[in-house]
Structure 1
Amino acid sequence: MHEPVHSHPCCGTEHPGGMSCLCGRPETMRAMQRIEADISRRRMLGGMAALVGMFAGFRVAAGPDERPGLPDRPLLLVNLRLFDGQSLHLREGVAVLIQGERIVDLITPDAAPEGVLRVDCGGRVVMPGLIDAHWHTTLAGVDMRTALTADPAYIHLQAAREARATLMRGFTTVRDVGGPAFALKRAIDEGVTPGPRIFPSGAMISQTSGHGDFRMRHEVPRTALSGPTQTELSGVSVIADGADEVLRRAREQLMLGASQIKLMAGGGVASLYDPLDSVQYTERELRAGVEAARDWGTYATVHVYVPEGIKRAIRAGVGCIEHGQLADEEAVRMMAGEGVWWSLQPFLQDEDSNVYRDPEQVAKQTRVARGTEQAYAWAREHEVQTAWGTDILFAPDKTHTQGRQLAKMTRFYEPLEVLRMATGDNGRCLALSGPRAPYGSGLGVVQPGGLADLLVVDGEPERDLSFLAEPENSLWLIMKGGRMYRNTL
């Protein structure tokens, strides 16, 4: 005899013998989530394929490789004043010899070998390409709503456009401290589109309710059946609770190609839910991320503002503190004593600041701005290794201020000290990535063996840096890896 067959009301499937429906069982739901995730990945891959197809029609330079070609013979930059990214003075009577992507030597002009191509700099200053140590490659050029809701292909197209603008502002390298920058980095490195060198962190790793938790209220609580959020799927951030989960997520970013790990150790200004003074991640959780990075020969950096969060991160072994404008003097001494880098930004709540309309966000921004001047004063007094960056975030109308934000640092330092911070000092900070550094050594300096990332500028940097606010007029030559992206000499 055959068992009677019944149609179940929830799915319309016929089940023998009146067997209960399996649709609502946990294992069925997990299977469906895996299928949905696979479909999402396939859609994303389709979108990226379309993105590559769009780029196929672009021409920025000659040939299928969109980069300018390397000169067929050595270059010699002559008739210049040199800022080398290390010394606090300008050198004269020196010429820069370049072969391929690197600087071969610094020589006197009359000692040049035969066959070189001389480039007359007209008495202008030659200096290293600028480095922004706190940049968000895919998040700076779009607003928050677009970043969280738009098609991935659109966001990456906007990021590619912004990357080209970044390079043309004279920033030849950025350290990306959060966001899906891996694809753009590859496209730039392969000559698909112009842009700066990128040191990618990948997704920001955050605790539940932390600075990288972008969920809406209706998405809480998160359960085993919830699946990853949209920001996790897109690679902006990832939520991890407990040391084991932090370890897993850090290793995933390293697998994808992170040159350093970014952990969220405290509250922030841009986020709506986490208080600015909150301390995030236990020391054990932070240490798990640090250990994952160290095992790969690199380091972890943390987003944090308040003293207890800074101290906890230092005890956990992080290599760099991002922000930290609300540090107390004890925390600053700890940074100096442990050799931890302090990546500060000129958050002054002025015309260059990110714009917030929520009163709570504005209040947090005001508090950070008040702490900025004290932070720079303590950094100088205690001789903390200090990096410079902008942290322009979800503000496409602010990205053009990148050079101006460096120029206004002269309220805290002498002009050549500021330039050294944004070149040689930032290069040393990025070198913390060790074997995970994507481009080898020689960033931010003009010296034999260094990368030929150079600017020829029309200005007097020993006096002021206002010329950086108008890169379209003041940068006569922009070179990255020996290739000239602008040459009006």
Structure 2
Amino acid sequence: MPTILTNANLLDVDAGEIVGVRHIVIEGNRIKEISDTPVTGSGDVIDLKGKTLMPGLIDAHVHISAYTANLADLPYQSPFYVAARTIEILGGMLDRGFTTVRDVGGGEFGMARAQAEGSVRGPRIYFGGKALSPSAGHGDMRKPGQDTQDAGYSVPSLGRICNGVDEVRSAARDEIRRGANHIKIMANGGIASPTDRIDSDQFSEDEISAIVDEASMANIYVVAHAYTARSVERAVRNGVRSIEHGNLLDENTVGFMKEKGAYLVPTLATYRGLKDEGVAAGLPTALAAKIDKVLDAGIRAVEMAHRAGVPMAYGTDLLGAMHYRQLTEFDLRGGVVPAADLLRSATVTGAALLQCEGEIGRIAPGYLADLIAFEGDPLADISIMGRLAETLALVMQDGKVVRSAF
């Protein structure tokens, strides 16, 4: 039997406007028909009573297994315990209206398969496996006095170490063999890693180019963790498609990204979260001092990228107990990005980045029925999106109702 959503106030994310009351017919897991007149016929009818209906949200930068902000502690935990905490995190994401996520370090084929089969309640997972990192890079969690790091793939961690062109090619091929939708590289220093600096470049250009070559042969793309303008420029010049964070960008590099068609995925939510409660969530105190170097610069980078027309997807990068902040990215970007563009970042732009146009990110015939309904007009008041966790009336994923107030 089809599902019929009646009296939906439809938000067209492409046009950036609410087009009025529509009636949507869903057969199986896809949208069959959208009508401006009531639909006749049998089916499971849900009257949305004028609620705003828009596509399910896409978070393009998550770490589903990061139940703690102390990432160096992950490899010492039971994989079963980490999986249990991951399932808890995924359920919370779905209840916030995120029907699809892109994991850029830690998520893998097993959890993605479990979600796709219906064993795990959570958003659809596009995964890259373990992020590739050089020694002393952002994925190297060894302390200065520690020589070894367990590299077994079943050991929970967000990254893996590889050095030199041969090793990075081998590591990329291994992630591709495991079903990766993209390859993540650490191209710059980071906050949560103990021995690198925020301004350090990581991987040689030959190594970056080799990883991009492997991804291209598999018809997938490369994602780069990068803050500084120099690291971003190196990555994009060597074929990286998606820049994560980008807090320390400058005007020239933003222009270069636009020229090359690269995406930016800002993650302001995590820096605000780490500043406010990172230590309490497990971030070692010694690493917290790095936050200030990127926190204030992040909003300026978003403003520059928007002005230049660089496509930006929605991302959060939250760790530990801070996952509940997933919707705060709307509030943090809302001061410099128009509401319509911000809503597109979490829908159609995110879908384009994930290379799944025609499948998700829009309400249109033939698309997967990933939908959320709520009260109010976020185009007029973007703060509505930051409160969705409390106000969602309906979440539909893959044609199934997974949360409902009706």
What TM-score do you get using the length of structure 2 for normalisation? 0.93
How far residue 228 of structure 1 moved from its aligned partner, in angstroms, is 4.1
Unaligned stretches of 5+ in structure 2? none
Equivalent of 1:106, from 29, 34, 39? 34
- Give the Cα separation in 2 of the matches to 1:134 and 1:351: 15
Residue of structure 2 equivalent to 1:294: 216
Structure 1 CA distance for aligned equivalents of residues 171 and 242 of structure 2: 19
Shift of 1:113: 4.7
Deviation per CA, 1:240-299, whole angstroms, max 9, x where unpaired?
A: 111111010001001111100001101011112101000011111001110111111110
Secondary structure at 2:145 match in 1: helix
Tell me the secondary structure at the aligned position of residue 127 of structure 1. Answer: strand
Aligned to 2:360: 443
Instruction: For 1:360 and 1:235, locate their aligned partners in 2 and report how far apart those are by CA, in whole Å.
Output: 20
1:376 positional shift: 1.2
CA deviations over 1:28-62 (Å, ceiling 9, x no partner): xxxxxxxxxxxxxxxxxxxxxxxxxxxxxxxxxxx
Give the equivalent residue in structure 2 for 1:213: 140
Residue-by-residue CA offset, 1:90-122 (whole Å, 9 max, x unaligned): 111322221110111221223x25224332111
Q: Compute the displacement of 1:346 (Å).
A: 1.7
Q: What is the aligned-residue RMSD (CA, Å)?
A: 2.1
Task: Give the corresponding residue for 1:402.
Answer: 326
* Percent of aligned pairs sharing the same letter: 32
In 2, the alpha carbon distance for the partners of 1:335 and 1:193 equals 37
Which residue, out of 256, 276, 282, partners 2:204?
282
Cα distance in 2, alignment partners of residues 352 and 409 from structure 1: 17
Which of these residues, 244, 249, 271, is aligned with residue 193 of structure 2? 271
Which has the higher mean CA deviation after the structures are superposed, 203-212 or 230-239? 230-239
Query: 1:423 is matched by which residue type in structure 2?
Result: T
Q: Give aligned pairs, total.
A: 402
From the superposition, tell whether residues 362 and 143 of structure 1 become closer, same or farther in structure 2 (CA, over 3 Å): closer
Structure 2 match to 1:89: 17
Cα offset, 1:309, TM superposition: 1.1
**Whole-Å Cα distance in 2 between the matches of residues 350 and 324 of structure 1?**
15
Is the Cα–Cα contact under 8 Å of residues 336 and 383 in structure 1 kept in the other structure?
A: yes
1:172 and 2:99 matched: yes
1:421 equivalenced with 2:345 (yes/no): yes
Give CA-to-partner distance per residue, 1:202-247, whole Å, 9 cap, x none. Answer: 0010001110011233332x6xxxx844688435311111111101
Change (3 A) 1:352 1:171: farther
- Pairing 1:186–2:113 present: yes
Alignment of 1:372-383 (within 5 A): 372-383=298-309
Bigger shift: residues 304-313 or 79-88: 79-88
Task: Indicate conservation of the 8 Å contact 1:352/1:405, yes or no.
Answer: no
Once the two structures are superposed, residues 287-344 of structure 1 have per-residue CA deviations (whole angstroms, 9 ceiling, x without a partner) of 1110111111110010011111111111111111111110121111110000001111
How far, CA to CA, are the matches of 1:347 and 1:462 in structure 2?
Answer: 21
What is the one-letter code of the residue matched to 1:444?
A: G
Distance in 2 separating the partners of 1:152 and 1:350: 29
Partner Cα separation in structure 1 for residue 269 and residue 12 of structure 2? 28
CA distance in 1, matches of 2:192, 2:243: 18
Residue from 201, 204, 226 that aligns with 2:128: 201
Q: Is residue 2:47 matched to residue 1:120?
A: yes
- Shift of the 251–441 alpha-carbon distance from structure 1 to 2, 3 Å rule, reads farther
CA contact (8 A) 2:74 2:157 kept: no
Specify whether residues 233 and 473 from structure 1 end up closer, same or farther in structure 2 by C-alpha distance, changes over 3 A only. Answer: closer
The Cα offsets for residues 413-454 of structure 1, whole Å up to 9 and x where unpaired, read as 2223221211111111111xxxxx6xx842111111111000
Q: Which amino acid aligns with 1:326?
A: L
| 2:207 partner SS | helix
Which amino acid is 2:4 matched to? Answer: L
Q: Which of 367, 373, 381 is 1:456 aligned to? A: 373
Question: How far apart, CA to CA, are the structure 2 residues paired with 1:370 and 1:352?
Answer: 13
SS in 1 for 2:354: helix
Residue 174 of structure 2 aligns with which residue? 252
Q: Structure 1's 342 and 244: CA in aligned 2 closer, same or farther, altered over 3 A? A: same
Question: Residue type of the partner of 2:12?
Answer: D
Distance in 1 separating the partners of 2:12 and 2:404 = 20
Q: What is the alpha-carbon distance in structure 1 between the residues aligned to residue 218 and residue 270 of structure 2?
A: 36
SS in 1 for 2:59: strand
**1:481, 1:248 → 2: CA distance?**
35
Q: Which residue of 2 aligns with 1:486?
A: 403
Is 2:278 the partner of 1:355? yes
Checking the alignment, whether the CA contact within 8 Å between 1:251 and 1:292 is kept in structure 2 is yes
The 1:144–1:265 alpha-carbon spacing in structure 2 relative to 1, beyond 3 Å, is closer
Query: Tell me, what secondary structure is at the counterpart of 1:218?
Result: coil
Residue 167 of structure 1 and its aligned partner are, at CA, apart by 0.6
Larger Rg: 1
Q: Which residue of 1 aligns with 2:79?
A: 152
Q: Give the 3 Å change call, closer, same or farther, for CA 121–352 of structure 1 in structure 2.
A: farther
Closer, same or farther: CA 333–388 of 1 in aligned 2, 3 Å? same
Change over 3 Å in CA distance of 1:407–1:109 after alignment to 2? farther
- Structure 1 residues 392 and 349: CA distance shift in structure 2, 3 A: closer
Query: Matches of 2:271 and 2:161 in 1, distance apart?
Result: 30
Q: Could you say which residue in structure 2 is the equivalent of 1:55? A: none
* Alignment CA distance shift 1:407-1:451 (3 Å): farther
Q: Give, as a single letter, the amino acid of the residue that structure 1 aligns with 2:313.
A: A
In structure 1, what is the Cα distance between the partners aligned to 2:204 and 2:143? 24
2:331–2:383: 8 Å Cα contact kept in structure 1?
A: yes
- Secondary structure of 1:372's match? helix
Whether 2:244 is the aligned partner of 1:322: answer yes
Q: Residues of 1 paired with 2:146 and 2:153: CA distance?
A: 13
Tell me the distance in 1 between the aligned counterparts of 2:173 and 2:261.
25
Which string of whole-angstrom CA distances, capped at 9 and with x for unpartnered residues, describes residues 74-96 of structure 1? 22212121113322111113222
CA gap 1:291/1:349 in 2 versus in 1, 3 angstroms:
closer
CA 1:142–1:408: 2 relative to 1, 3 Å:
closer
Contact 1:468/1:474 (CA < 8 Å) preserved in 2? no
Of Structure 1 and Structure 2, which has the larger fraction of its residues in strand? 2
The equivalent residue for 1:261 is: 183
CA–CA distance in structure 2, aligned partners of residues 481 and 90 of structure 1: 23
